[in-house]
Amino acid sequence: MTDPSNAAQERAWDGTEGELWAVHADLLERVFARYDGALLDAAGVAPGTRVLDIGCGTGSLTRAAARRAAPGPVMGVDLSAAMVAVARTRAAGLGNVTFLRADAQVHPFPDAGSDALVSRAGASFFGDAPAAFANLARATAAGGRLALLAWQAPARNEWFVEITTALAGRPLAGPPPGVPSPFAFADPDAVTSLLGGAGFTDVQVADVREPALFGADPAVARDVMADLLGWLLDGRDADEARASLLATMQAHDGPDGVAFGSAAWLVTAVRTV
Ligand SMILES: C[S@@+](CC[C@H](N)C(=O)[O-])C[C@H]1O[C@@H](n2cnc3c(N)ncnc32)[C@H](O)[C@@H]1O
């Protein structure tokens, strides 16, 4: 069951957008992987921890959590059937992982069934965030920990600014905080109040920065991002946009491959006892 407030997100993620993320999982899983260690540390994931990964996508953070939490059970939940299918394939061999295709806002997770909630940029798309986090708080044991990675404002994220400008041919503002999008949690005060109202305490929002890594080959990076964000062209000549994006990728090619700056909030909280 998907809540009506998430119908548009379901159309995108359980449709073309999710299919593209599934096809390009090799590259996309690695872009923000440098944040994974800090996220799992912040959530206190250790052997035996029961973990829920919200908006798990193709499951790279879920797998990392499962390796740390074993034998604790780790579940990834996501709206996209295509991404969940890839996640299941990639986690074959890890005996403590399951994946669920569901709307995390309303899914009837068992009461207090998780000790740690984690999410890498997958928890900012809820149509009714207060309801979603109340549901997730209910699913978390008293004293359990939440650790979310969420993007700071678009202008602080070089990857967003440079890639979207190259494709659109002009700077784009990006979505404002508070509406479902990758940038919904850009306002730390709003996130603190959201989580406090949903049943979490000791909410902390830390400024964390890591390179966003798009792989060793600028042309492949261009192909993937042009595929994923082709709708940004909005009538612009496709060859011109692709050439511009390739030039951007080449300009950012260095010792770590194609790398851009990124700025996130590492949001942590504790389930109220
Ligand atoms: C930007 S992707 C991040 C995927 C993954 N966490 C990663 O880092 O690769 C956002 C994910 O959130 C999922 N999502 C959005 N709304 C959701 C909801 N209501 N319930 C479960 N998953 C949701 C999408 O399907 C998508 O896979």
* Contact of 75 with 98, CB cutoff 8 Å: yes
Torsion-angle region of 101 (φ positive above 0: left; ψ -120 to 50: alpha; else: beta): beta
Answer whether 62 contacts ligand 1 (Cβ < 6 A): no
Residue 253: inside a domain: no
Using CA atoms in the order 220, 121, 181, 177, what is the torsion angle rounded to 10 degrees? Answer: -130
Is any ligand 1 atom within 6 A of the Cβ of residue 122?
Answer: yes
**Ligand 1 in contact with 36 (CB < 6 A)?**
no
Q: For residue 43, what pLDDT is reported?
A: 98
Asked if residue 78 has its Cβ within 6 Å of ligand 1, the reply is: yes
Query: Is residue 78, in this structure, part of any structural domain at all?
Result: yes
Rg (C-alpha) for the chain, rounded Å, is 18
Secondary structure of 13-74 as H, E, C letters:
HCCHHHHHHHHCHHHHHHHCHHHHHHHHHHCCCCCCCCEEEECCCCCHHHHHHHHHHCCCCE
Question: Which atom of ligand 1 is found nearest the CA of 21?
Answer: 27
From ligand 1's centre to the CA of 193, what distance in Å? 22
What is the crossing angle of helices 16-23 and 81-90, to 10°?
20
CA of 56 to the centre of ligand 1 (A): 6
- Cα–chain-centroid distance for residue 146? 14
pLDDT in tens, the chain (273 residues): 999 999 999 999 999 999 999 999 999 999 999 999 999 999 999 999 999 999 999 999 999 999 999 999 999 999 999 999 999 999 999 999 999 999 999 999 999 999 999 999 999 999 999 999 999 999 999 999 999 999 999 999 999 999 999 999 999 999 999 999 999 999 999 999 999 999 999 999 999 999 999 999 999 999 999 999 988 988 899 999 999 999 999 999 999 999 999 999 999 999 998
Q: Is residue 240 part of a domain?
A: no
Domain hosting 68: range is: 4-155+175-212+261-271
Quote the crossing angle between the two packed helices 158-168 and 238-251, to the nearest 10°.
150
Does some domain include residue 65?
yes
- Whole-model pTM: value is 0.97
Domain membership flag for residue 235: no
* CATH, residue 116: 3.40.50.150
Q: Using H for helix, E for strand and C for coil, what is the string for 203-257?
A: EEEEEEEEEEECCCCHHHHHHHHHHHCHHHHCCCCHHHHHHHHHHHHHHCEECCE
Count of structural domains within the chain: 1
Quote the CA–CA distance of 205 and 129 in Å, as a whole number: 17
Is 141 a member of any domain? yes
β-pairing, 51-54 vs 114-120, is: parallel
If we measure between CA atoms, which residue out of 183, 220, 208, 219 comes closest to residue 42?
A: 208
Asked, for residue 197, whether it belongs to a domain, the answer is yes
The whole-angstrom separation of Cα 30 and Cα 22 is 13
Query: Phi and psi for 232 in degrees, rounded to 5?
Result: -70, -20
Q: Please, where are the H alpha helices in 91-217?
A: 129-138, 158-168, 188-198
Tell whether 167 is covered by a domain. no
Partners of 140 in beta bridges: 114
Ligand 1 nearest atom to the CA of residue 60, by list position? 9
Q: Which amino acid is at 225?
A: M
Instruction: Give the DSSP H/E element, type plus range, for residue 88.
Output: helix 81-90
